[in-house]
Amino acid sequence: MKEMEPRTKQLLIQLEQRLLTEHRDLSALSAEEQFRIIADKVADHPEAITPVPQQGNNELLQKLKRAKERGGLLTVKFGIDPTGPEMHLGHAVPILMLRRFQQMGYKIQFVVGDFTARIGDPSGRLTGRPILTEQQIRENMRNYFEEAGLILDLNKKGRTETFYNSEWLGEMRMQDWLPLLQRVSASQMFQREDFQKRLEGGSSISMAELMYALFMAYDSVALKPDIEIGGIDQFLNLYWCRELMRFEGMKSEIFIVTNLLAGTSGETDSEGRFIKMGKSKKNYISVTENPREMYGKVMSIPDEVMWIWFRELTEISSEELKELKTEVEKGEIHPMDAKRMLARVVVGTFNHYDRNTIEKAERAFNQMFGKAKQLIPEDIKVITVTGGSRLVDILSKATGESKSNLKRMLASSRRGGIRILVENEYIPLTMEELSNKTVEGELIIKVGKRRYYRIQTAF
Amino acid sequence: MKEMEPRTKQLLIQLEQRLLTEHRDLSALSAEEQFRIIADKVADHPEAITPVPQQGNNELLQKLKRAKERGGLLTVKFGIDPTGPEMHLGHAVPILMLRRFQQMGYKIQFVVGDFTARIGDPSGRLTGRPILTEQQIRENMRNYFEEAGLILDLNKKGRTETFYNSEWLGEMRMQDWLPLLQRVSASQMFQREDFQKRLEGGSSISMAELMYALFMAYDSVALKPDIEIGGIDQFLNLYWCRELMRFEGMKSEIFIVTNLLAGTSGETDSEGRFIKMGKSKKNYISVTENPREMYGKVMSIPDEVMWIWFRELTEISSEELKELKTEVEKGEIHPMDAKRMLARVVVGTFNHYDRNTIEKAERAFNQMFGKAKQLIPEDIKVITVTGGSRLVDILSKATGESKSNLKRMLASSRRGGIRILVENEYIPLTMEELSNKTVEGELIIKVGKRRYYRIQTAF
């Protein structure tokens, strides 16, 4: 690897400096410039902004223009259901979009869906969710405000409003709902691809789930935002926001959807698409993850995922991203250096861009990484196995030793035993582990005095 | 026709006397006798009483027994939506069932569905209903209480309660609904035969209609009846009454369904079943119809319908009905005499069994009928045509006269003109009527001085 050219080094430093600036003031930008910043980060979908901006008919741009004329009178809504104990980086993507509007000086409406959380958004799910108690929801909620506060300025006077949607949904009487329920077609609510899949899979859909989109959409009727932000999985819900506003004789909101974030593992589904970050997939990083862990986890993602995260989790522009990628491809920048920058920016984003925190996280990672380097020989033998394989079978095959011989080796400290790398230390494997442990993820095993194996499960 | 035998005459007189007794007191009957009276009048359906009474496990009978032990503590609910301006005899069938329970000394709950009327019960309908204004519903409601009061004693102290279901449905907050909505399967609500037919027919179903059954069922949660009465078209709604009560940890009500009443015309559908009485079919008699008209309309029904009406609209028992039918079949009783008795009982039922009213109605009918007899020759030529045929074409064919000749005859009073029987008088047909009038139902036409035609549209 050659030394980085001064020009390239300069590029990286400048870029990082920009990405690590929390309190960007975008309010002085023209409506056109603001529009470009927004449009640069929306989901890869032709209708990511709806109504779709067209030459000569760009509703979003018009709104931004009018808002600027009137001193920033534009409200942007974002809602999130506190269905889990914590937010992860995937949740942060639309919230970062919301932050852009905040940085442009517009008013944001942050809605915690404590009512809708009692149902759970069925969008794209193959089974129903467990029903949360109000106690669980209350606990989650506390965290959600705190966690959103890591990204947004939730105390910005007159420019930020926070809501619980039970305020209007819970108290609304059925007779007030009736006119809306009469206008909405049940078959339209029902004939959704995700619902049909669930039914085919033998999972039932509750009436509450069927109505979820209407409940969420009613938030928009209650708050009358100009714009709403959501993940692309919210497409149908956001469609209903527009519909319900129309039914109520209001101007329908514009909605903007962001991509779902690829998970840490870089695993793909049967169609080759990255599996999205999700609590249940164990491929997530919490926004409150401690900086050292967060840094390390970002460093562990595959390069392909790195480019996605650059786009979704930082303020890098398409042009800058393209340039960075080109430099890496040309070999001017080592991918590891790009990833280190990403890790610093991500850690910064969720830690108020505190330089000290970022540097400490990086140092801790370097130490561990350096130590790990010493512990694992470069020519370690890599063995890929299918998940669930038993360790004794894997090692027997890898070493050519019989299982009984392996067991004898394990018991003999003179022969070096059989050890497993745990937190920078090789500790002896127990007989029980050797016989019954199955492999998920990655293990480093040392057999005897010299033989090292990196055992990985295939995706 | 031979003279009626004294025994037969006696039978008719006794039967009629019983059927014309309004204030039957059935409270002294044993639970078994009460059960038999109820079971004798339920719909022709194996689950007309649900849970189905079985040898050794007859929940309805058990309830009646326990109620008698405890001095009549048993509540029977019936609900009706004020979706039309008036009740007809078809509506009276389940209300007569309710009256039986009242006569047995049990408590009745009469629910006017002012909330549910805003939706309209979608059961068995091929298209949505027009949405009623609250004003329309209020007007209908006034009539419904009055009309039900013709059959039931709505003022019976401590034994009759009347309700509007907006009392609980309208005020209920969405957060109170949520636990129920979570327990109910949307697909179960959706996959109903009538809904599927509507969708196939291109008619959409609103969310409000989808939820109709739940709203109605909630009435039972609010009122906790032991028993509910409904028309057989209410089967699914009543199923949900039981389900919702179960969800709420209550003992599910027993439901009892009655047949839908055949309409006046005796028309049948494509499967040979009598078309049910309904406002839109113009085959109905309002419960507030004036006695003379009501009597005449009952007299106009086909004999087959007469037997149905005897069962559904009077307190005749199965045995009595069978005996009456046998006597008619043997020629011991003229069908007209049986029908006259039915007409008297029906007129009586909706006029507080006032003898004077019944007799006046009968006399008026006799006069009209006698007069009509004089006006229409016995050997009148009967012509059956398809609906929508034009009079001039029909008459030209029937008389063998050319159309232009018919027009000349119409203009010539010397030749007797062409006349139509209207209210016991032959009045001249106009040229316009001759040329363009189409036939629906029945017309009596006199052409020239001697030719009479009864023109009927085929069903």
Q: Tell me: pLDDT of B165 over 90.
A: yes
Partners of residue A190 in chain B, C-beta under 8 Å:
186-187, 190
Q: Tell me: pLDDT of B14 over 80.
A: yes
pLDDT single digits (tens) B32-58: 999 999 999 999 999 999 999 998 899
Q: Tell me: pLDDT of A128 over 50.
A: yes
Partners of residue A207 in chain B, C-beta under 8 Å:
180-182, 184-186, 189, 211, 214
CA B180/CA B169 separation, integer angstroms: 13
Q: Tell me: pLDDT of B425 over 70.
A: yes
Q: How far is B199 from chain A (nearest CA, A)?
A: 8
CA A142/CA A392 separation, integer angstroms: 46
Summarize the confidence of residues B276-294 as an average pLDDT. Answer: 92
Summarize the confidence of residues B282-286 as an average pLDDT. Answer: 92
CA A445/CA A420 separation, integer angstroms: 5
- Nearest residue of chain A to residue B174 (CA atoms): A170
Q: Tell me: pLDDT of A447 over 60.
A: yes
pLDDT single digits (tens) B345-369: 999 999 999 999 999 999 998 888 7
Contact B186 A190 (CB under 8 A): yes
Closest CA to B266 of B255, B257, B277: B277
Contact A186 B190 (CB under 8 A): yes
Summarize the confidence of residues A53-73 as an average pLDDT. Answer: 91
pLDDT > 70 fraction of chain A, expressed in percent and rounded: 99
CA A211/CA A184 separation, integer angstroms: 10
Cα B328 to Cα A46, B3, B340, B341, B347, distances in angstroms: 78, 13, 13, 13, 22
Q: Give the mutation candidate from B181, B196, B207 for the A interface (greatest A CB count, under 10 A).
A: B207
Q: Tell me: pLDDT of B100 over 90.
A: yes
Q: Tell me: pLDDT of A84 over 90.
A: no
Model pLDDT, residue B385: 84
Backbone angles phi, psi at B367, to 5 degrees: -60, -50
Cβ under 8 Å to A: B residues 81-120: 115, 118-119
Local confidence band at B3 (pLDDT 50, 70, 90 cut-offs): low
- Nearest residue of chain B to residue A186 (CA atoms): B207
Contact A207 B182 (CB under 8 A): yes
Cβ under 8 Å to A: B residues 131-160: 131
Model pLDDT, residue B213: 96
Model pLDDT, residue A1: 46
CB B447 within 8 A of CB B399: yes
Please report the number of interchain residue pairs, chain A to chain B, with beta-carbon separation below 8 angstroms.
111
Summarize the confidence of residues B327-337 as an average pLDDT. Answer: 91
Domains of chain A, first to last? 25-260 (3.40.50.620), 291-375 (no CATH), 381-457 (3.10.290.10)
Summarize the confidence of residues A126-136 as an average pLDDT. Answer: 84
Partners of residue A221 in chain B, C-beta under 8 Å:
none
Q: Give the mutation candidate from A207, A219, A240, A243 for the B interface (greatest B CB count, under 10 A).
A: A207
Q: Tell me: pLDDT of B253 over 80.
A: yes
pLDDT > 90 fraction of chain A, expressed in percent and rounded: 61
CB A350 within 8 A of CB A294: yes
Partners of residue B168 in chain A, C-beta under 8 Å:
none
Burial of A133 (0-12, 13-18, 19+ CB in 10 A): exposed
- The answer to whether A189 contacts chain B (CB < 8 Å) is yes
- Which residues, other chains included, contact A116 with Cβ-Cβ below 8 Å and sequence gap of 6+? A79, A81, A165, A169, A212, A215, A216
Mean pLDDT of chain B: 91
Partners of residue B207 in chain A, C-beta under 8 Å:
180-182, 184-186, 189, 211, 214
CB B352 within 8 A of CB B283: no
Burial of B170 (0-12, 13-18, 19+ CB in 10 A): middle
Contact B205 A187 (CB under 8 A): yes
pLDDT single digits (tens) A26-52: 999 999 999 999 999 999 999 999 999
Highest mean pLDDT among A16-25, A195-204, A305-314, B395-404: A305-314
Contact B182 A115 (CB under 8 A): no
DSSP string, A154-186: TT-TTTEEEEETHHHHTT-BHHHHHHHHHHSBH
Cβ under 8 Å to B: A residues 277-336: none
Model pLDDT, residue B1: 46
Partners of residue A133 in chain B, C-beta under 8 Å:
none
Task: Report the side by side order of strands in the sheet with B254-258.
Answer: B49-50, B254-258, B227-231, B75-80, B107-112, B160-164
Model pLDDT, residue A169: 95
- The answer to whether B1 contacts chain A (CB < 8 Å) is no
Classify the complex by whether its ipTM is higher than 0.85, answering yes or no: no
How far is the first Cα of chain A from the last one, in angstroms, to the nearest whole number? Answer: 31
Contact B131 A182 (CB under 8 A): yes
CA A358/CA A352 separation, integer angstroms: 10
- The answer to whether B222 contacts chain A (CB < 8 Å) is no
pLDDT single digits (tens) B288-316: 999 999 999 999 999 999 999 999 999 99
* Cβ atoms within 10 Å, residue B368: 14
Rg (CA), chain B: 26
Burial of B433 (0-12, 13-18, 19+ CB in 10 A): middle
Mean pLDDT of chain A: 91
Q: How far is A243 from chain B (nearest CA, A)?
A: 14
Summarize the confidence of residues A427-431 as an average pLDDT. Answer: 88
Q: Tell me: pLDDT of A135 over 50.
A: yes
Model pLDDT, residue B459: 54
Highest mean pLDDT among A125-134, B77-86, B156-165, B379-388: B77-86
Model pLDDT, residue B147: 92
Picking from B172, B177, B207, the nearest residue to A189 by CB comes out as B207
Model pLDDT, residue B410: 87
DSSP A81: -
Long-range contacts of A245-249 (CB under 8 A, 24+ apart): A245/A217, A245/A220, A245/A221, A247/A180, A247/A183, A247/A184, A248/A180, A248/A221
